[in-house]
Amino acid sequence: MQDIPQISDAEWLVMKVLWNESPLGSSDVVNALKGTTDWKPKTIKTLLSRLVTKNALSYDAGSRGYLYYPLVSENECAKEEARSFLGRVYNGSLNLLVKNFIENKELSVEEIEELKKLLEDK
């Protein structure tokens, strides 16, 4: 199994752009993030570089610069993030997480039925 890198919140925003569409050049990533962040292009290029170092992204060198693409899927990263969160916050106890979630969120009838179905199917 491939090691899934730990990705910071800022890096997640960059990855989401590339999960949505790739390969992209750094200027394309900068343009995609213009409406959501106030980051300078240099900041985004630094994040791209970090993600390459972490083996979350790779790139092809083209005539117009680097074209970045993900090496890990969004689903793989989300699973790893959930596993990490569960370990850090709930000492690995899924029961505590679900109990806390149910006690602290008002659930609709549809959501309750969906949770029941997920548990029954498991």
Characterize 79-113 residue by residue with b for buried, 16 or more Cβ atoms within 10 angstroms of its Cβ, and e for exposed.
Answer: ebeeeeeeeeeeeeeeeeeeeeeeeeeeeeeeeee
Determine the pLDDT at residue 115. 87
pTM, to two decimals: 0.81
Q: State what percent of residues in the chain have pLDDT above 70.
A: 98
- Other C-beta atoms closer than 10 Å to the C-beta of 47 total 23
pLDDT confidence of 1, banded at 50, 70, 90? very low
| pLDDT mean over 108-115 | 89
Give residue 2's pLDDT.
64
Distance CA 65, CA 2 (A): 28
Banded model confidence at residue 63, pLDDT cuts 50, 70, 90 = confident
pLDDT tens-digit series, residues 73-91: 999 999 999 999 999 999 9
